[in-house]
Structure 1
Amino acid sequence: MLDKFFKLKESNTNVRTEIVAGITTFITMAYIIFVNPSMLSMAGMNSKGLFGGEVAKAGLSVGNDQIIGAIFVATVLSAIIATLIMGLFANAPFAQAAGMGMNAFFTFYVVLTCKISWQGALAAVFICGIINIIITLTKIRISIINAIPDSLKKATGAGIGLFIALIGMKEAGFVVGSQETLVTFGNVNNPATLLAFIGLVVTVVLMIRKVKGAILIGIVTTTALGVIAQTGLGYKLNIFLPESFNIISAPPSLAPTFMKLSFKDLFSANVGFVSIITIIISFSLVDTFDTIGTFIGTTTKTNIFDDKPIGKGRFPRKLDRALFADATATSIGALLGTSNVTTYVESLAGISEGGRTGLTSVVTAICFFLTLFIAPLIGIVPAFATAPALIIVGILMMGSIMGIDFDNFEEAVPAFFTLAIMPFTYSIANGIAVGFIFYTLIKLFKGRGKEVHPIMYIFTALFIIKFVMQV
């Protein structure tokens, strides 16, 4: 039955190989169940925090019997549903979950900078998902990808990597604010900072030795050391251990975030209509770049989607289904209560183990389902334990910078501003906007305006209006 449904023999694979590949993919991306709740909690989601039990007196409780909040459940459920759609509908070995970079954009720009409520931000994510579905079905998504130069796509990935790494360094205490120099190096004598450094070293060593699940192991190791340091050595690390700790428990309620998106909060926000449109476009573009980059990079090496290599502007029919599965995932995540859900590049770990069909994705989804019942374990993970994971993800995302020709000044200028503006202004949207503007203006001043796609002109005009109006 499995062979017939997933076409295993046709794809030169078998059940055992697909199961191993699915588990491998899960292990390499399981860090998201720790990192995403930590990231989105900074946006005020769950309103009072993630934890319950005795930390109610600290003002962080959402219920005395709840150890971790709805964000965790939303993160896991969205990964399960989206990955199953990818596996059963597209029959492709890719897993999906809340995307790194987009959760940072959601928290630090949309909510904390633009002062849009998290409910309004979820509405923006939902609209982004609907837009992605429409432009995928009408092939516009492919046109947009082809309209944007490769240098800007690569710079966007690298810029997001720098941005995420900066957040990780801040959470670890490696980078702190300074009146004299804006930022400076943190105090390594701080116990939390020291533990974050140990966690980073552990993760790096495991990554170098190509240990599967290195990021997850690093998070667990750092958390365990933190618990020992707090309970055994008396250090104050703000690790909140519940009074009665059971590893296995029923999942927390999803109610605090389920269907809480608010279009009223989004469009009544005091940031201006142009900024709202820019936010939605930024969500859509980053989501699209991330997904297409993963698909193209995988297919050119393994030909999963087609027995012929992918070429510019030519995408096999099977890839259309995978793109549609990815597009639906974002809106599903917004309804559940998380930022953009996207296809994970960590899927390559499972593919490298031989995964070739949707059975790999189904196995990964089953693994995510099992994590729903270990919420108490997730709830004790402190920010300094997830900080090394953010730094490592940032390093991995920086790899795209190698594809930018910095010897070509025309290409280097817009690419540089795209990747530099993101961390320097704490905004992914600003980086994309400035990069688009410089690219278009350079082409016009060079008398090569015809080389710029009309879609680029539309985006550039919107971004210029945004900056002129300061909205």
Structure 2
Amino acid sequence: MKDFFKLKDNKTNFFTELLAGVTTFFTMAYIIFVNPAILSLNAGMGWQAVFVATVLACVAGTLIMALYANVPFALAPGMGLNAFFTYTLCKQFGLAWQEALGIVVICGVVVVIVTVTKFRKVIVAAIPPFLKDSITCAIGFFIAYLGFKNASFFTFLFDSGSYSVLENGSAISNSSAMPALAVFNDPGVILGLLGIIIMIILAARQIKGGLFIGIVVITVLGIPLGVVDISKIKLLDFHAIASVKDVAFAAFGNQGFESLFSDFNKIILTITASLALFLSITFDAIGTFIGAGRVSGIFDEKDAKNMSQKGVKSKFEKALFADGIASCVGGFLGTSSVTTYVESTAGISVGGRTGLTGVVVAVLFLLCLPFAGIVSIVPAQATAPVLIIVGVMMMSSITKIKWTNFQEAVPAFFTISIMAFAFNISYGIAAGFILYCIIKLVTGKVKEIHPVLAAVAVLFLINFAIIALRG
């Protein structure tokens, strides 16, 4: 095991990797409950079947990354990608969930092809250094915002008549919605505040395994506060496992691919939907790799510069390829697209450096099939502070951006702000790319724009136009 994962070369050990895996798992375990809820409520899929498919997708995707690329990134059906699956493909476009799974498979295959043909690596090489630093900072803001949100720190104020209620019971508002700090009289908010304080103390004291210890302590404190209900724990529940047959490989049936290509309008829809999904998957992963990989040293500048001209040999190349292969997994198993999770930074922050971290994550996800009840008692307030701490750690790259240079400051600022405020990694990267190209164009520095970067910016603009026209 030590030789396979090269623990010594990566300056780590079994205990550190184990701790990192457990930390990452608890930080992203919410997906096995949230994803089935979204797909069952809005796409008409069975909750139990999607639950099992989600768990298996987490296991398969993470193991591909761990065993092939030997990096500590975990994968799961992506938040945002599952919303695209339900609200755009099924609700807005009117596709059956089997047809939507077909698009997930198609997009996954495209991602694999562009990875093998080095298009994704060329994109990474084309990004200017200051934009890479901007993406790193933006990822930090993004996950910190996610942490504050999960800690129940924010409420949102709506003007009367400024929002509408969707079919699933949630609401959508216009720009009149304003965030505000929550009132600290709710048990969940109080637990979130205690969690942040505990995590800051543990991190400041540099206690080994402090983040994981914090998760356990906060979960225990949640019991007397009424946030954690241990009475609902089920130790064993094997009944749901067989239900995965209802959704697995459904994309290949009569209601999947055959229906998807049954008429011209659906073919055009499939192409446009696949473009949007491809951009999200591609840049979610690239953003996470650039952000977390550069700060931790998992992917250093030497690794990025020395990417092989033939084959898939460098660590960065292998990670991109593994992510590409894993992107197909969701469609095959019966859930939305699988992607590299930014929450992996939680495990990286406690020392995870190899694929052994991912193996631990995969094993813990697999144990969720019969022991989901135990995992479910860990509240969001216990894992939220981890994301906030990691966000703080990722802010060091902001000093590398030349803020006095307006031509760098504008794309950098929009990358960071749009990613956080729009709550979308791909949109933040899109804003940076597009504004970078515009500034170079109007200042007569067109030759400084890498052709691939310009092409990607145009694709993003086309994608936004399609979304607006179908809006």
Same fold? TM cut 0.5: yes
Partner of 1:451: 448
Cα drift, residue 429 of structure 1: 3.8
CA–CA separation in structure 2 for the residues paired with 1:23 and 1:219: 15
Cα drift, residue 418 of structure 1: 1.4
TM-score, structure 1 as length reference: 0.73
**Match runs of 1:300-319 below 5 Å:** 309-310=302-303, 312=305, 314-315=307-308, 317-319=313-315
Partner of 2:178: 182
CA–CA separation in structure 2 for the residues paired with 1:457 and 1:171: 36
CA–CA separation in structure 2 for the residues paired with 1:122 and 1:161: 31
Q: Structure 1 residues 432, 365: closer, same or farther in 2, change over 3 A? A: closer
* 1:404 lines up with 2:379 in the alignment: no
CA displacement, residues 264-310 of structure 1 (integer Å, 9 cap, x when unaligned): 79996999975762342122112123235555666678x8xxxx943
Q: Structure 1 residues 341, 463: closer, same or farther in 2, change over 3 A? A: closer
Specify the code of the residue in structure 2 equivalent to 1:176. Answer: T
Q: Structure 1 residues 370, 296: closer, same or farther in 2, change over 3 A? A: same
C-alpha contact (below 8 Å) 2:139/2:288 kept by paired residues: no
Cα drift, residue 144 of structure 1: 1.2
Partner of 1:24: 19
Partner of 2:163: none
Partner of 2:206: 210
Partner of 2:225: 229
Gaps of 5+ in 1: 50-60, 63-68, 231-236
Gaps of 5+ in 2: 160-176
C-alpha contact (below 8 Å) 2:25/2:364 kept by paired residues: no
Cα drift, residue 31 of structure 1: 1.8
Partner of 2:436: 439
TM-score, structure 2 as length reference: 0.73
**Match runs of 1:56-75 below 5 Å:** 73-74=52-53
CA displacement, residues 55-74 of structure 1 (integer Å, 9 cap, x when unaligned): xxxxxx95xxxxxx566655
CA–CA separation in structure 2 for the residues paired with 1:386 and 1:360: 17
C-alpha contact (below 8 Å) 2:228/2:377 kept by paired residues: no
* 1:147 lines up with 2:122 in the alignment: no
Cα drift, residue 462 of structure 1: 3.0
**RMSD (CA atoms):** 4.3
Cα drift, residue 143 of structure 1: 0.8
Indicate the SS of the match to 1:310. helix
Partner of 2:196: 200
Q: Quick one: which of 271, 282, 285 aligns to 2:283?
A: 285
C-alpha contact (below 8 Å) 1:195/1:384 kept by paired residues: yes
Specify the code of the residue in structure 2 equivalent to 1:328. Answer: I
Indicate the SS of the match to 1:30. helix
Specify the code of the residue in structure 2 equivalent to 1:45. Answer: L
Partner of 1:105: 80
Specify the code of the residue in structure 2 equivalent to 1:94. Answer: P
Q: Structure 1 residues 246, 108: closer, same or farther in 2, change over 3 A? A: closer
Partner of 2:116: 137
C-alpha contact (below 8 Å) 1:405/1:411 kept by paired residues: yes
Cα drift, residue 187 of structure 1: 1.1
Specify the code of the residue in structure 1 equivalent to 2:332. Answer: L
Q: Structure 1 residues 333, 345: closer, same or farther in 2, change over 3 A? A: farther
Specify the code of the residue in structure 1 equivalent to 2:187. Answer: P
Indicate the SS of the match to 1:227. coil
Cα drift, residue 79 of structure 1: 4.1
Specify the code of the residue in structure 1 equivalent to 2:145. Answer: L
Cα drift, residue 411 of structure 1: 0.9
CA–CA separation in structure 2 for the residues paired with 1:216 and 1:257: 35
279-288 vs 69-78, greater mean Cα deviation:
69-78
* 1:34 lines up with 2:29 in the alignment: yes
Q: Structure 1 residues 415, 360: closer, same or farther in 2, change over 3 A? A: closer
Specify the code of the residue in structure 1 equivalent to 2:201. Answer: V
Indicate the SS of the match to 2:179. strand
Specify the code of the residue in structure 2 equivalent to 1:77. Answer: L
